Amino acid sequence: MAFSSHKERHNRALELPEIISGGLVLFVALWMLCFQRVASGDVLERFMRGSYVLLCGVVWFHAATVLVHFVHELALRHAPGRLLWHQVPLVLAASVLFALPFLEVKLEWVFWLQAFCCLFIGVFSAVRIFLYFTARRRSVVRGRAGAWSPSVTFFSYMLALVLLSTLVLLTPGATHHGIGLTQAFFTSASATSITGLTCVNVADTFTALGKAMLLIDIQVGAVGVMTFTYFVLMMLGRRLDVRDSMTMSGVLDQQGVNVVPLLLKTVFSVTLVTELVGAVSLYILWQGVEGIPQAPLDRAGYAAFHAVSAFCNAGITLFHDGMSAPGMQGNFTAQGVMLVMMLVGTLGFGVYLEGLQRVFRRFRRQRVTRRWSTHSWLVMRVTVVVLAGGTVLLSLLALLEPSQHAAGAYSVWESLWNSVSRSAGFNLTEIDAYGPVYKMFMCVMMFVGGNPAGTGGGVFAPVLCLCLMEVWRVLRGQQDVEMHGRRIARGTVERAMATVVLSIFCIVLTTMLLLLLEPGIAVDAQGPFKMLFMVVSAYTTTGFDLGVVPELSPVSCCIVSLTMLFGRVGMFTFMLIFIKQKDPAPLRYPETRLPLN
């Protein structure tokens, strides 16, 4: 016991310089990026500033501490942890990259590689700190029920990411001309909740740092901050204990803790492969396209940003006019790539997990049942019905309803696009040009949204399907909701009904509050409907707008920002933060009936 305690103190003494120097690397790098605007003409001038020399010294000192720790572990014949094995090649590469400018190597991509190295060094230091404080907290609260619920933890992580990105967007290096606190908070909340509503023009307002921050918000917000954190820890050799697995199973809404590690790997595997294929495809298809920078590094940045935004159903673009830009509106091949990526993101990672498991079993020549799970069966069928029905109805409305939009063959393609983009917010043309019935049906489509454990928004199509089946059950006098040869658990049906009721209540209440705060919009003939459309879009994390967002006051912008976060977390999940669920009572009151007609 004494030896173990001495060994732990010795390891902490070796890790402390790594944590401090790694944190300094990230701090100095962020300081340079956020507060030093340098013209992009002379690369060497950018590198040879005094702050850059300071950053080099901190990076090389951090590399020395990591190498000393690694050599010391080998000298004691200990097996270095997986975290050290990842750190050694990283710090060696960073040391070489930071020495290149002194050798007058003027390459633009060196700057970006240095930025990525600093980011990962900071991530590894944060992992060390997280592991230390997690172990510390568990040693203190061991044996007590003092852990946060998954709902509180998930919302706290998301709010912390929004506040951190808000601070970054407020710095001079993140914008060309500066933005206000409300605008920064609104944009960060929109990106983190993968909504897509913006009160500023992203292409003209933000620099490369600001766009990179939004890209991080979109990516981490789509897969979940906690999901991202636990995946990094798992990849670095730390196994999830029972408490972590229970927390993640609650966040991912999965039954059983054994499936959590495999689901985390599926989330990041599908995300990485889809976004990589999409980015490469867009990079090739956008060659010579009007409105897209043709420099290889800039075009790669555009392709990567829109691939991530499409898969995550974020709806944020770098084009001045969105997807209706001249170079994009007629590029059907690139639109088809983004369409497929949006659809892949909305299906849900639980379906991919089951599909991959079945494929691996076939390769191993193991027995595979023909019957899919009820969840995958329902998701696939509901998705097909929503896509087909939405496309047909939107096409008919665009053709038959009088509007300012020109009807034609392109309307069918746009109707398919809007059906898929019902939870993404990419619009090929202005939605306001369509008729009122078309826009009302788009509200319904946004409310339906995607599927559980996916990157889409809304109340989710399977949830609404369960509500409709519950109504049909009551009308027919059946005892249970049945599908796919299974009886749906009563608690699942009740949660679906509660989700829909709470969502409608939140949308109506928020709309009335915003109309009270915005009398100029309320007195307009189309103002209340446009406000309702925007609130539905914000709550369902879609991103469609009829021109209301630029007219909102700062107070209204904050309310819409919170609405986007509530929609991303889920109103039912958000209510569990304040309401503690009770265990079933052993005794029940006598049953009585009430007149309803």
**pTM for this prediction:** 0.83
Chain centroid to Cα 426, Å, comes to 16
The winner for highest mean pLDDT among 1-10, 95-104, 388-397 is: 388-397
When pLDDT is cut at 50, 70 and 90, the band that residue 5 belongs to is: very low
Distance CA 217, CA 224 (A): 10
Per-residue model confidence (pLDDT) at position 297: 82
Q: What is the H or E stretch that residue 486 is in?
A: strand 486-487
> Does the pLDDT of residue 444 top 90, yes or no?
yes
When pLDDT is cut at 50, 70 and 90, the band that residue 48 belongs to is: very low
When pLDDT is cut at 50, 70 and 90, the band that residue 263 belongs to is: confident
Distance CA 352, CA 223 (A): 14
CB-CB neighbours of 158 under 10 Å: 21
Contact 25, 62 (CB under 8 A): yes
Span 484-500, pLDDT tens digits: 888 888 888 888 999 89
For the chain, how big is the Rg over CA atoms in Å? 26
Judged by average pLDDT, the poorest of 103-107, 314-318, 511-515 is 103-107
Chain centroid to Cα 457, Å, comes to 10
Span 62-90, pLDDT tens digits: 888 888 888 877 777 666 777 777 788 88
Span 367-394, pLDDT tens digits: 777 788 888 889 999 999 999 999 999 9
CA angle 505, 497, 222 (to 5 degrees): 75
Q: What is the mean pLDDT of residues 573-587?
A: 74
Contacts of 577 (CB under 8 A, 6+ apart): 149, 151, 152, 155
Task: List beta partners, residue 206.
Answer: 175
Per-residue model confidence (pLDDT) at position 276: 93
> Does the pLDDT of residue 1 top 90, yes or no?
no
Per-residue model confidence (pLDDT) at position 78: 67
> Does the pLDDT of residue 144 top 70, yes or no?
no
Q: Which long-range contacts (CB under 8 A, 24 or more apart) does 75-82 make?
A: 81/236, 81/237, 82/236, 82/237
**3-state DSSP helix/strand/coil % of the chain, to nearest 5:** 70, 0, 30
Reported as half-sphere exposure (CB side, CA atoms, 13 A), residue 113 has a value of 16
Q: Higher confidence at residue 48 or residue 171? A: 171
- DSSP 8-state code for residue 320: T
> Does the pLDDT of residue 330 top 80, yes or no?
no
When pLDDT is cut at 50, 70 and 90, the band that residue 36 belongs to is: low
When pLDDT is cut at 50, 70 and 90, the band that residue 232 belongs to is: low
CB-CB neighbours of 487 under 10 Å: 11
Considering only the C-alpha atoms of the chain, give the largest distance between any 2 of them, rounded to a whole number of Å: 86
Chain centroid to Cα 113, Å, comes to 24
Contacts of 306 (CB under 8 A, 6+ apart): 282, 317, 318, 338
Contact 4, 68 (CB under 8 A): no
Per-residue model confidence (pLDDT) at position 225: 59
> Does the pLDDT of residue 461 top 60, yes or no?
yes
DSSP string across 410-464: HHHHHHHHHHHGGGT---SS-GGGS-HHHHHHHHHHHHH---TTSS--SS-HHHH
Read off the tokens for 5. Answer: 């305690």
Mean pLDDT of all residues in the chain? 80
Contact 545, 552 (CB under 8 A): no
Distance CA 581, CA 560 (A): 28
Per-residue model confidence (pLDDT) at position 141: 46
DSSP string across 467-483: HHHHHHHHHHT-SS-EE
Per-residue model confidence (pLDDT) at position 355: 85
Distance CA 546, CA 534 (A): 7
Per-residue model confidence (pLDDT) at position 24: 83
> Given phi > 0 = left and psi -120 to 50 = alpha, else beta, which region is 196?
left
Q: What is the mean pLDDT of residues 221-238?
A: 64
| Percentage of the chain lying above the pLDDT 90 cut | 20
Q: How many helices (H) and strands (E) does the chain have?
A: 25, 2
Contact 543, 425 (CB under 8 A): yes
When pLDDT is cut at 50, 70 and 90, the band that residue 135 belongs to is: low
Q: What is the mean pLDDT of residues 179-189?
A: 91
Judged by average pLDDT, the poorest of 134-143, 214-223, 281-290 is 134-143
User: For 332, phi and psi rounded to 5 degrees?
Assistant: -70, -30
Per-residue model confidence (pLDDT) at position 229: 62
When pLDDT is cut at 50, 70 and 90, the band that residue 47 belongs to is: very low
Q: What is the mean pLDDT of residues 20-48?
A: 66
The winner for highest mean pLDDT among 72-86, 130-144, 515-529 is: 515-529
Q: Higher confidence at residue 430 or residue 101? A: 430
Distance CA 117, CA 123 (A): 10
β-pairing verdict for 486-487 and 482-483: antiparallel
Distance CA 54, CA 48 (A): 10
Contact 314, 222 (CB under 8 A): yes
CB-CB neighbours of 289 under 10 Å: 18
Per-residue model confidence (pLDDT) at position 7: 47
Question: Measured in Å, how far apart are the chain's first and last C-alpha atoms?
Answer: 73
Distance CA 273, CA 120 (A): 21
Q: Higher confidence at residue 321 or residue 293? A: 293
Contacts of 517 (CB under 8 A, 6+ apart): 553, 555, 556, 559
> Does the pLDDT of residue 596 top 80, yes or no?
no
Reported as half-sphere exposure (CB side, CA atoms, 13 A), residue 289 has a value of 23
Per-residue model confidence (pLDDT) at position 39: 44
Per-residue model confidence (pLDDT) at position 238: 57
Q: Higher confidence at residue 369 or residue 449? A: 449
